[in-house]
Amino acid sequence: MSEDLARLQRALGYRFQDESALLRALTHRSAGHDNNERLEFLGDALLNFVIGEAVFLRLPKAAEGDLSRMRAMLVREETLAVVARRIELGEVVRLGSGELKSGGFRRDSILADGLEALIGAVYLEGGFAAGRDLCLRLFAPELDHLPDPGTLKDSKTRLQEHLQAAGRPLPEYTVLNEEGPPHRRSFRIRCRLADDGSESTGEGASRKFAEQQSAERMLHNLIESGGRHA
């Protein structure tokens, strides 16, 4: 077994009895038919359950919505890629020549998929306990430093809750401008409070992003002013 694979298994805290299972988990679809896509599917399912259980136990007073947002934050592609880089997965992932030349070993999506595939492979060989232990070990830094669930709410939700708590009407969102070709649209959205006429705007490549930005600016303005009417 190569030193790279031995190093990876030390980082995982798990030693494969069947090296072919490890190699399959590391093989991207660009490198051949015997790749990690099916293992990725399995690992994704196990990871969602284990992380869901973990946040449930760590946040005994959190509501269902907060738990869902916390789990989503932990199992999203960006977080998985961070964990994958921590164990230097990019150094051993097996890619086709095209992906290799384009730097696929650095791409978040490939690293995240590879991490899920490794989890799936450990589960198949070692069973549920081994798979669960691996997930908890890999995500220990994230689980030990969970953010305030309230900070995970999107800007529109936080603005709505802020206004409702103050007994104020919900904001109105209006498209002020939409331009550009279909593949490069640009939106400008206005967020307006009907009770005092205050406004904020947001811009972005999608209506959703622009609305979130306008809501974030409105919420910032309200907090800065102490929530008072203008």
| Integer Cα distance of 35 and 156 in angstroms | 41
| Integer Cα distance of 220 and 81 in angstroms | 31
- Residue among 44, 113, 211, 216 flagged as catalytic: 44
CA separation (Å) from 178 to 52, 186, 201, 205, 210? 39, 6, 13, 10, 11
CA dihedral (94, 99, 103, 108) positive or negative: negative
Give catalytic status of residue 195 as yes or no.
no
- Residue among 40, 113, 116, 216 flagged as catalytic: 116
| Integer Cα distance of 46 and 136 in angstroms | 11
> To the nearest 10°, the Cα dihedral for 218, 221, 225, 230?
-60
| Integer Cα distance of 25 and 8 in angstroms | 12
CA 60 remoteness from chain centre: 22
Give catalytic status of residue 116 as yes or no.
yes
Asked whether the beta carbons of 98 and 107 are under 8 A apart, the reply is: no
Q: Which residues are catalytic?
A: 44, 116
